[in-house]
Amino acid sequence: MKSQVSIEYLIIISFSLMVLVPIIIFIYDYHKTQKEEYYLFIASETVKKIGEAVDYVYLQGEPSKITIRVTIPQNLEEIKVLNKTIVFRVRAYGGISDIYYNSICEIFGYIPKEEGEYFLTIQAKERGVYINVSSG
């Protein structure tokens, strides 16, 4: 009788694990995917916000200037400001994704790649638009 009860408990525990382990793995993978999608969304919105501000300031002409607040997400490999393009390289889905914005003018300056919120001053000058980190 005792051995039958032990075997029944063993069967119940085995069946429970067979059901729970795949569910836990699914939830973990889903959470990880959602987190990566969120970081990609934040990076995309940040690049768009910076790019649109650069174009706006450029069209206003020298000496126009604007300060914007941006969020730099986690999983960021690097940020490049190349001629007329802003590029965020984000690590996601086991690879690297490039998120970029092509501006209508030359862009100069620096955008920090460390995670956090920053105030960026965007100013039109004779040669193009300059981006700098400001204190707010």
Length of the chain in residues, anyone? 136
Is the confidence at residue 102, as pLDDT, over 90?
A: yes
Taking only the tens place, the pLDDT of each residue in 64-84 is 999 999 999 988 889 999 889
Between 5 and 26, name the one with better pLDDT.
Answer: 26
Question: How confident is the model over 108-131, as a mean pLDDT?
Answer: 91
SS3 2: helix
CA distances from 78 to 39, 60, 67 (A): 14, 29, 22
Show the tokens assigned to 17. 């694990």
Is the confidence at residue 3, as pLDDT, over 80?
A: no
Taking only the tens place, the pLDDT of each residue in 7-59 is 888 888 888 888 889 899 888 888 888 888 888 899 999 999 999 999 999 99
Where are the chain's structural domains? 2-134
- CB atoms inside a 10 Å sphere around CB 44: 17
pLDDT of residue 4: 76
